[in-house]
Amino acid sequence: MAVMIKKVGVIGSGQMGNGIAHVAALGGFDVVLNDVSADRLKSAMATITGNLTRQVSKKLITEDAKKSALERISLVDTLEELGSCDLVIESAVEKEETKRKIFQDLCAVLKPETIVASNTSSISITRLAASTDRPEKFIGIHFMNPVPVMELVELIRGIATDDATFDSSKEFVSKLGKQIAVSEDFPAFIVNRILLPMINEAIYTLYEGVGNVEAIDMAMKLGAHHPMGPLELADFIGLDTCLSIMQVLHEGLADSKYRPCPLLVKYVEAGWLGRKTQRGFYDYRGEKPVPTR
Ligand SMILES: CC(=O)CC(=O)SCCNC(=O)CCNC(=O)[C@H](O)C(C)(C)COP(=O)(O)OP(=O)(O)OC[C@H]1O[C@@H](n2cnc3c(N)ncnc32)[C@H](O)[C@@H]1OP(=O)(O)O
Ligand SMILES: NC(=O)C1=CN([C@@H]2O[C@H](COP(=O)(O)OP(=O)(O)OC[C@H]3O[C@@H](n4cnc5c(N)ncnc54)[C@H](OP(=O)(O)O)[C@@H]3O)[C@@H](O)[C@H]2O)C=CC1
C-alpha cells in the first residue's frame, strides 16, 4: 500500500540537502533537517531563508508562503529525531561508506513503513538498498542543483523497490512541482552519465593545454549555449562530487573513456573543491571569480 507522506527527513544540510528541505517545506511537507554539526545546520537555515527571500522578491512565492515554509523546518543533530518521518532522503557526501553507515544507524530508529531514499548522484541504488533492513522500501530520488530552480528529478528503482514505494515517491516529487525522469539503476543514472564525461573532457581539454579556463567556459557558453561553462559548472557541483561520480562510472562500467582527469584528482587532493571551499577552477575569494589556470 502506498505510504501517505506528511513528514520528510533530510540527512545532510549541504547545498543539496538545504535545497531539498527548501522545496519540501514549500510543497507543504513538515521537514526535519539533520546534519552532523549545529553550525552546518545554522548556515543551511540562513541559505534557505536567503533563497526563499530571493523567490519572494522575484514574485515566485508570497511572503506568507516563505513564512510557512520556514515554520515547517526543524533542525536536528541526531538521527533518532527522524524516527517519526514517513520519508527520509539521505543527501550526505558522495561516499558509499558514509552513506551505508548512515542507513544502518537510521533504519534502527525508523518506523517499519518509512520510505528511505538517497539523493546519490551515481552510486548503485540496489547496493545501497542492500545495506538497509528494507530494500523494498528504498529508492533513488535524485534532485538537480540548484534544487529550487531545476525542474527535473530522477527516480531510480533498485532491484527490490516495490510499486508502493515507487508510487509514493512519484506523488511526493509531483507535489514539489518537479518533472520526473525514470532511470534504470546503472552508474550515474541518466543526467550524470551524459553530463559528467562532458565535464571530465573539459578538464582534459584544460589539462592538455587546448584552452585555458576562460576560453573553455566561454566556448561552451557562447558556442553551445550552455548556461554555465563546464568548468564553472564543475565548481558549482563540487569537484569532490565530480570526481566521485567519475570513479563510479570508471569502476562500474570498466571503460577507460571514463578515466577521471588527473587534473581533477589534483584539485580535489589540494582541497580546492570549487565554490564550497572558495577555490576550484576559479578563485571566489575576491569580488569576481578569477580563473586559477
Ligand atoms: C551533479 C548531479 O548529481 C546532478 C546535477 O545537479 S548536475 C547540475 C545541473 N545544474 C545545471 O546544469 C545548472 C546550470 N546553470 C543554470 O541553469 C543557471 O546558471 C542557474 C539556474 C544556476 C542560474 O541561472 P542564471 O540565470 O545564470 O542566474 P540568475 O538569474 O542569477 O539565477 C536565476 C535564479 O536561480 C536561483 N538560483 C541561482 N543560484 C542558486 C543557488 N545556488 N541556489 C538556489 N537558487 C539559486 C535564484 O532564484 C536566481 O534568482 P535571482 O535572480 O534572484 O538571483
Ligand atoms: N552537488 C551537486 O550538484 C549534486 C549533488 N548530489 C548528491 O547530493 C549529496 C550531497 O551533495 P552536496 O550537497 O553537493 O554536498 P555538500 O558537501 O555540500 O554537503 C554534504 C553535507 O553532508 C554532511 N554530512 C557528511 N556526513 C554526514 C553524516 N554522517 N550525517 C549527516 N550529514 C553528513 C556534510 O557535513 P560536513 O561538511 O561537516 O562533513 C555536509 O553538510 C551527494 O550524494 C551528491 O552526490 C545530487 C545532485 C547534485
What tens-digit pLDDT sequence spans the chain (293 residues)?
Answer: 778 999 999 999 999 999 999 999 999 999 999 999 999 999 999 999 999 999 999 999 999 999 999 999 999 999 999 999 999 999 999 999 999 999 999 999 999 999 999 999 999 999 999 999 999 999 999 999 999 999 999 999 999 999 999 999 999 999 999 999 999 999 999 999 999 999 999 999 999 999 999 999 999 999 999 999 999 999 999 999 999 999 999 999 999 999 999 999 999 999 999 999 999 999 999 999 999 99
Ligand 2 atom 36: residue of nearest CA: 36
193 lines ligand 1 (CB under 6 A): no
Ligand 1: does its nearest atom lie under 6 Å from the Cβ of 215? no
**Ligand approaching nearest to the C-alpha of 93:** 2
Cβ of 246 less than 6 Å from ligand 1: no
- CA angle, residues 171, 161, 1, in degrees to nearest 5: 55
At residue 251, the pLDDT reads: 97
The verdict on whether omega for the bond into residue 227 sits within 30 degrees of 0, i.e. cis, is no
- All three cell numbers of 261, joined, read 582527469
Instruction: State pTM to two decimals.
Output: 0.96
| pLDDT reported for residue 3 | 80
Ligand 2 contacts (CB < 6 A) are 11-17, 34-37, 40, 91-94, 98, 102, 119-121, 142-143, 145, 237-238, 241, 276
Provide the 3-class DSSP secondary structure of residue 189: coil
Pocket test for ligand 1, best of 47, 89, 145, 264 (most atoms within 8 A of CB): 145
Nearest to 176 by CA among 53, 45, 25: 25
Q: Which candidate, 65, 88, 68, places its Cα nearest to that of 76?
A: 88
58 Cβ inside 6 Å of ligand 1: yes
Report which bound ligand comes closest to the CA of 199: 1
Any atom of ligand 1 within 6 Å of the Cβ of 237: yes
CA distance 246 to 98: 18
State the closest ligand 1 atom to the C-alpha of 16, by its place in the atom list counted from 1.
6
**Residue 71 Cα to ligand 2 middle (Å):** 23
Q: Is the CB of 192 under 6 A from ligand 1?
A: yes
Enumerate the active-site residues: 121, 142, 154, 192
Do 34 and 10 form a contact (C-beta atoms < 8 A)?
A: yes
- Number of the ligand 2 atom closest to the C-alpha atom of 13: 41
Return the pLDDT at 36: 95
- Per the listing, cell 578515466 goes with 259
- Ligand 1 proximity of 146 Cβ (cutoff 6 Å): yes
Q: Which CA distances in Å does 94 have to 11, 64, 100, 118?
A: 12, 35, 11, 10
